[in-house]
Chains A and B, each alone.
Chain A
Amino acid sequence: MEVEHFEYDNRTPRDFAIASIVFGLIGMIVGLYIALELVFPNLNLGIPYTTFGRLRPLHTNAVIFAFVGNGIFAGVYYSLQRLCKARMFSDKLSRIHFWGWQLIILAAAITLPLGITTSKEYAELEWPIDIAITIIWVIFGWNMFGTILKRRVQHLYVAIWFYIATFVTVAVLHLVNSFAIPVSLFKSYSWYAGVQDALVQWWYGHNAVAFFLTTPYLGLMYYFVPKAANRPVYSYRLSIIHFWALIFLYIWAGPHHLLYTALPDWAQSLGVVFSFMLIAPSWGGMINGLLTLRGAWDKVREDIVLKFMVVAITAYGMSTFEGPMLSLKNVNAIAHFTDWIVAHVHVGALGWNGMLTFGMLYWLFPRFYGKELFSKKLANFHFWIATLGIMFYAIPLYWAGLTQFEMWRDFTEDGFLQYPNFLETVTQLIPMYALRSLGGTLYLVGFCVMIYNLYKTAKAGSFIADEAAQASSLPTGATPGRVAGEHWHRVIERRPTQLLILSLVVILIGGVIEMVPTFLIKSNIPTIANVQPYTALELQGRDIYVREGCYTCHSQMIRPFRFETERYGEYSKAGEFIYDHPFQWGSKRTGPDLQREGGRYPDSWHYNHMDEPTTMSPGSIMPAYPWLLDDDLDTASTPAKIRAMITLGVPYPENYDRFANMDLMKQSNEITANLKASGIETPPQKEIIAVIAYLQRLGIDIKGENKVIFSTEASLVNPSK
């Protein structure tokens, strides 16, 4: 065997690491800012771009895809080369991947505050950016597989399996969930509607957690924990079982986000069962990570990298215990729509992803720059303040979640709601929101200390862009075939392509069984005769509702509980949402549910409420939306929107795109007249009119009082028709 000399590319992982730090800082600052907006509602300074509804998607996208995403790539590009004993397949692809990903993040940072969003959580980016993501993701896969194929090691270490499963599944998730029909360059409608859209979205949403925040990080754990502890992983056998079990089960778990909703029961039960089983492989991973340190716990006291990693793995264990519990219907009934969920995801994000990233960065930077870490003391400080920050973040929100649920469901002895005014259940939580912001601040301070520490480390050393290495070339003929007497799984381990296909099949089985029945079988979504498409004005109003991110605080999904039907009205039916492209069920109630908002208040109430919420609901923490009163509605887009809806199967009359704006003007004038009767003078072409039209339409169809008449050619020729 000949010994070959080559160099590892450190530039790409280093650049990704820096990007992760930069965007992590931005993502966390935005998170803190919107957390403070719940305490100080005027903090958006009266401008649209900084409202909670527009910045919340920016926060989640920045943390998931920019902070964690760049962290994944840093770790993968570093470990993959070393596990394959080969330089990355192509430096050019590495560069394209790096800059492409950063441009996508930049595009997100610009479009989301502008209100350009699909409103599908963690997939808010509009279609041109979705296409760019697809291209860059393929480049990542191409580069990764190229490297795996030219490796100098026979076997694929388990970390690489996790990377491959990540690549395959994220590709499938992204493609399926992003299916949409473009209306213009910056606007599209989801291909799916209502219940189907919700199912696809949460199949995606949960698996974004699974295959973006979990599997790649488990891969990183399997590489960096043994490296930092300088001992092999506890059980390699366990890692194999836990890998297959994890990807087998995770893909089915999505519907647990939709318990007690209008999603068919069988799909809900499927989600519960698989989510509950997930505890086994998740804890398999946690145990494997923690037990790697068996007999080396004394090292944890000394080694800063291990400290971070131990807390990360512990947080992983905690949130993957909590997850299955939350997917039990009785627990979910309490936690869903409350801050409990926010606490849960932050234990995962701050604890598992954050702490593992920090551990990895403290390990990588000294090696990138050939210099010891600048200050162990500062790193220790970071460790403690971050751990404390997580607790200050999570505990108040758990408290808030339980408090709010208790207040929602309290009845007086006479059978009335104890707190009929939703706002009471919100103002009660403000001290908890303030404490949570303190937790976030502590975490952020620790993050800044890390930046300083890593900067000083880099400054003191000099960057090793190409790290010399040597390895024997693989013996010829040793790669693909099966050696006599060898087991079949060995062959798979050596063949990344087969591994890719097998994991693809495994996840597709789950996705197909879960989704196909809802698409194919009509009886899954019983139609309701009274439910009609939105009028053109309502559709425009709905798009403003989407643009402003109202779904980040308001649900449109009344669960079949007495305390919900008493507060909001009749529980939600699947058939009510058949024209909702995209669905707007929401996942969190910082404000009340809006599904039966129509007719609850007069038009003038909404007008005043949007102008300044506290005039109508004193103490409200909703931001004011004065620009809706000033800005003109873009009616030029109406025909294109109607055409897109017709393509999606919404039964507007033939050629309705030509008459839609006429109907729109008519309805605008009616609402304007209504407002005038209440003493409010406003021109009919303002955005607020469309928003009022939409809000007044919500949930009234099943009451049978609403009859929408769409103009057609015939009705114009002969008005009596």
Chain B
Amino acid sequence: MKFINYLESIAGIDIFPMISLIIFFLFFVILLIYLMLSDKQEILAMKNLPLDQNES
């Protein structure tokens, strides 16, 4: 059974995998850029959340 069967059966489905790939790719590119640009201090603060407890 070949993938072509499904491509033929859904109108315009050929663009679906492309869209998925682009969404997938862009999501991670943006995520990486954001992480590289993000503020060090804030990352540090979040990192320390479990340790910052002032428990009794």
Contacts and interface: CB of A to CB of B under 8 A. Distances in A.
B49 interface: yes
A155 B49 contact: yes
Interface stretch (A223-231, A331-339, A611-619): A223-231
B44 to A, nearest CB: 8
Contacts of A470: 54
A501 interface: no
Contact of A83 (B42, B43, B47, B49): B49
B47 A524 contact: no
Interface in A479-503: 487-490, 493
A106 interface: no
Given A237-B35, A244-B28, A245-B28, A471 B50 contact: no
Contacts, number: 93
Contacts of B28: 241, 244-245
Interface residues of B, number: 33
Contacts of A265: 1-3
A241 B5 contact: no
Interface string B1-37: 1110110011000001000100110011001101101
A423 B53 CA distance: 60
A112 to B, nearest CB: 36
A380 interface: no
Contact of B43 (A237, A241, A509, A524): A237
Interface in A223-280: 223, 226-227, 230-233, 236-237, 240-241, 244-245, 248, 264-266
Most buried by A among B24, B37, B44: B24
Q: How large is the interface on A (under 10, 10 to 19, 20 to 34, 35 or more residues)?
A: 35 or more
Q: Which 4 A-B pairs have the closest CB atoms?
A: A232-B47, A157-B49, A266-B3, A236-B47
Interface of B: 1-3, 5-6, 9-10, 16, 20, 23-24, 27-28, 31-32, 34-35, 37-38, 42-51, 53-56
Interface of A: 79, 82-83, 153, 155, 157-159, 222-223, 226-227, 230-233, 236-237, 240-241, 244-245, 248, 264-266, 467-471, 487-490, 493, 509, 513, 517, 520-521, 523-524, 526
25 contacts: A79-B50, A83-B49, A83-B50, A155-B45, A227-B50, A227-B51, A230-B51, A236-B44, A237-B35, A237-B38, A241-B35, A244-B27, A248-B27, A264-B1, A265-B1, A265-B3, A266-B6, A469-B53, A469-B55, A471-B54, A489-B31, A509-B20, A521-B5, A521-B6, A521-B9
